[in-house]
Amino acid sequence: MKLDVNALRYLSKDDFRVLTAVEMGMRNHEIVPAELVDRIAGLKHGGTYKVLRNLLKNKLVHHDATKYDGYRLTYLGYDFLAIKTLVNRGVFASVGRQIGVGKESDIFEVATEDGTVLAMKLHRLGRTSFRAVKSKRDYLQHRRSFNWLYLSRLAALKEFAFMKALGDHGFPVPTAVDCNRHCVIMSLVQGYPLVQVKELQNPDDVFDTILGLVVRLAEHGLIHCDFNEFNIMIDDEEKITMIDFPQMVSVSHRNAQMFFDRDIECIYKFFRKRFHLSSEKYVEQDGSDIDDDENGRPSFQSVQKSAGSLDKELAASGFTRKEQVEMDKYIHEKAEEESSDDDSTSDRDNSEDGDDVAGKINSLKIAEQDSAGAPDCTIEARDSNEPETFAE
Ligand code: ADP
Ligand code: MG
């Protein structure tokens, strides 16, 4: 499949100026009055209105005249702002095929000027319906209608910060390259999600390595919280890379024990079922026993004794405590709801922004392409001297 970003190539400097004006307006308007867009963009001779029509045609904005003549960004519009900014920064030069569709993300290959292929993760929090977000008790209700923009940006920021810190501490994670808005650029992991693997040469070793990662994370003060066969990549040499960090929490989180046990249980369950493995005893890779519970399973109490401070370092970086609390609440309440909701898998169809997602897939013209094909659609970095306030 190929992501055709041709529309981006043909968008003018004014198009981006107006698109950015809509984004700015969305800081305090769900639907940004056309007049305000015009004032922010500051184009001469009513140029803004003409540009808005073009953006609408390209599905980069959504028109809403229910209460007044107004516009809001679509996912596609937000994607293009992030992509444009990163291209201008020289982070990559082209966008290729889609390599992953998560529940709340889309992942594409991108390529740098010199042909290095990287992975681009576009966060889509709020894409799936979420009762709690819609309920009266909702902490985000005042901004629910445009929370996807806000939450997706926070998720990307958090993922980038965690990926970087984990990489710096020697964890097998993709290399964090850059981040803008809801978009994270990282190295491309060779291999496949573990869920796709039917057979392993050394299932015992892989199992120990994976379990060891959960333990080592906790020793550094962190719990992945979504540690399962979908978020573990494995290559032909059976080397493990873990991905997907927006939901990570500190070991001091009030539900830390439950999250830790759940991560461990996921791995046991998967290996029992898929590889018929029943590891009676967990032994660290250097051969020394670790302090396990009676079943030989790593226990939260034992790892907590040595818990490091990566969680504190991370809490101090990137975004504010309030932002972190808001996003963690969203992610974890949502996960709880999903696990207690049998119909959760159909949520995507009921998406609040469903028209945007469908529109995005259509308007981006994702076409069949040889899976080995490299990204081939070059985006020109036209207005790299745009003022930073407009590029960011
Ligand atoms: P989500 O949060 O939506 O679950 P993930 O980060 O787990 O998103 O990514 C979804 C899928 O995209 C993964 O299962 C994997 O197949 C692919 N993927 C994600 N990141 C990378 C990467 N850096 N390299 C290669 N494939 C990736
Ligand atoms: Mg995932």
Average pLDDT over residues 138-156: 68
pLDDT of residue 310: 83
29-55 tens-digit pLDDT = 989 999 999 999 999 998 999 999 999
Please tell me which residue in 226, 328, 353, 356 is annotated as part of the active site: 226
Question: Looking at 154-282, which runs of residues are DSSP E strands?
Answer: 176-180, 183-187, 192-193, 222-223, 232-234, 240-242, 249-250
The pLDDT confidence band at residue 322, using thresholds 50, 70 and 90, is: confident
Task: Using a pLDDT cut of 70, give the percent of the chain over it.
Answer: 72
Average pLDDT over residues 206-217: 95
Ligand 1: which of 97, 98, 116, 121 to mutate, judged by most atoms within 8 Å of the beta carbon? Answer: 121
Distance spanning both ends of the chain, measured CA to CA: 29
Q: What is the DSSP letter of 188?
A: P
Structure tokens at 68: 């007044």
167-190 tens-digit pLDDT = 999 999 999 999 999 999 999 999
pLDDT of residue 104: 86
pLDDT of residue 304: 75
Query: Do 133 and 144 form a contact (C-beta atoms < 8 A)?
Result: yes
- Closest residue by Cα to residue 205 from 304, 290, 260, 275: 275
**Comparing 6-79+356-360+370-391 with 192-319, is the CATH topology the same?**
no
pLDDT of residue 125: 85
Q: What is the DSSP letter of 174?
A: P
For residue 286, pLDDT beyond 50: no
pLDDT of residue 114: 96
pLDDT of residue 293: 57
Among all bound ligands, the one having the nearest atom to the CA of 167 is: 1
Point out the least confidently predicted range of 39-43, 261-265, 289-293, 380-384.
380-384
227 or 340, which is more confident: 227
- Contacts of the segment 293-300: beta carbons below 8 A, 24+ positions apart: 297/264, 297/268, 298/211, 298/214, 298/215, 298/264, 300/218, 300/251, 300/256, 300/257, 300/260, 300/261
For the chain, the C-alpha Rg in angstroms (whole number) is: 22
For residue 290, pLDDT beyond 70: no
pLDDT of residue 284: 41
Residue at 136: amino acid letter:
K
Which ligand 1 atom minimizes the distance to the CA of 243? 6
Q: What is the ipTM of this complex?
A: 0.99
Task: Give domain limits for the chain.
Answer: 6-79+356-360+370-391, 95-189+346-352, 192-319
For residue 312, pLDDT beyond 50: yes
Residue 104 CB less than 6 A away from ligand 1 = yes
pLDDT of residue 221: 93
The pLDDT confidence band at residue 23, using thresholds 50, 70 and 90, is: very high
For residue 166, pLDDT beyond 90: yes
Most confident of 56-60, 72-76, 176-180, 288-292: 176-180
Please name the residue whose Cα sits nearest to atom 15 of ligand 1. 100
Residue at 139: amino acid letter:
Y
Chain mean pLDDT for the chain: 78
pLDDT of residue 373: 36
Average pLDDT over residues 18-30: 93
Task: Using a pLDDT cut of 90, give the percent of the chain over it.
Answer: 55
For residue 287, pLDDT beyond 50: no
CATH class of 6-79+356-360+370-391: mainly alpha
CATH class of 192-319: mainly alpha
Among all bound ligands, the one having the nearest atom to the CA of 119 is: 1
pLDDT of residue 359: 30
The pLDDT confidence band at residue 390, using thresholds 50, 70 and 90, is: very low
Cα of 128 vs centre of ligand 2, distance in Å, is: 15
Which ligand 1 atom minimizes the distance to the CA of 187? 23
Point out the least confidently predicted range of 12-21, 133-142, 258-267, 331-340.
133-142
Rounded to the nearest 5 degrees, what angle is found at the Cα of 75, between the Cα atoms of 131 and 143?
45
Classify residue 67 by burial, with Cβ atoms within 10 Å: 0-12, 13-18, 19+: exposed
Q: Which fold has domain 95-189+346-352?
A: Phosphorylase Kinase; domain 1 (3.30.200)
To the query of whether residue 79 is one of the catalytic residues in this protein, the response is no
